[in-house]
Amino acid sequence: MSRAALLGLAVLLAGCTTTGSTDLSRAEADPWERSNRRVHNFNKGLDRFVLRPTTQAYRTVVPPPVRTMVTNAYGNYGEPANFANSVLQGKLAQAFRTLDRFILNSTLGMAGIADVATDLGRPREPEDFGQTLARWGVKSGPYLVLPLFGPSTLRDGIATPVDFVVDPADFIRNAWLSPGWDVRIGMAAGRIINFRNALVDTGVDQLLADSLDDYALARSAYLQRRRLLLFDGQLPDEVDPFADPVDADPVGAEPEPAPTPALTEPPRP
């Protein structure tokens, strides 16, 4: 797609996505808590007997510098998806920042094993299809715990297969619907182990172990992070970032009447 065509598509999408949904109150109410806790306990067992031992073996065999390179490479592999979702949300400037980042890390960063883009002022700006659905006005729905993938919402749960299966990086390397599903499965498994390794590095394991209710803690942490992503890192109270800006001093607006003396608060001594 040419730059001009991409510009036209982004402008069109921007005009069609002036409203969105950042409200997570339905998810915070957690109407499916009983079934979610069952899946949460299943995931804990899966983690205890499969993911955690595999991750510990990975951390034992692979030294920290190499693990960092793997994390960088997977991050770079996901940049085409970030770019595509930025375009679908009408975020043209961000889309081209992501494209610059991908080119820098793919070349100077040697296929992404070094994150030179961040050092050059191009930090990662993650976008996924769940954020795109939110931009299009799809409500979050109830909080939902997915087998293996963990905390989510109904909206993000529907978007998860898109993020994992319809990956623009596969189109770039012409691997979609072609022989080599073993490579695709290996890439997905590697992403899961790399993500599990990141949880160890950030101390989440110990935090959950010390919690009296690890389910409630995981839900709260997920929804807080999700809200941060939906607001692109800024959290204004009761403000929808997808809404049209409100003129602070509209033309022709009548000034609010001053309160009567009887309603004003007396000065404090």
Cα–Cα distance for residue pair 84/102, rounded to 1 Å: 12
CA atoms within 13 A on the CB side of 172: 13
Tally helices (H) and strands (E) across the chain: 14, 2
β-partners of residue 152 are 144
How far is the CA of 166 from the CAs of 37, 96, 180, 189, in angstroms? Answer: 29, 21, 15, 16
d(CA 136, CA 10): 14
Asked whether the beta carbons of 200 and 59 are under 8 A apart, the reply is yes
Asked if 76 and 111 count as a contact pair (C-beta separation under 8 A), the reply is: yes
Q: For the purposes of burial, counting CB atoms within 10 Å of the CB of 240, is it exposed (0-12), middle (13-18) or buried (19 or more)?
A: middle
Q: Where are the alpha helices (DSSP H) in 89-245?
A: 92-107, 116-119, 129-135, 154-165, 168-172, 181-201, 204-210, 214-230
The pTM for the full model equals 0.76
Per-residue pLDDT of the chain (269 residues; tens, 9 = 90+): 444 444 444 444 444 444 478 889 999 999 999 999 999 999 999 999 999 999 999 999 999 999 999 999 999 988 999 999 999 999 999 999 999 999 999 999 998 999 999 999 999 999 999 999 999 999 999 999 999 999 999 999 999 888 776 666 555 555 545 546 667 777 778 889 999 999 888 888 888 888 899 999 999 999 999 999 999 888 766 555 555 444 444 444 455 555 554 444 444 55
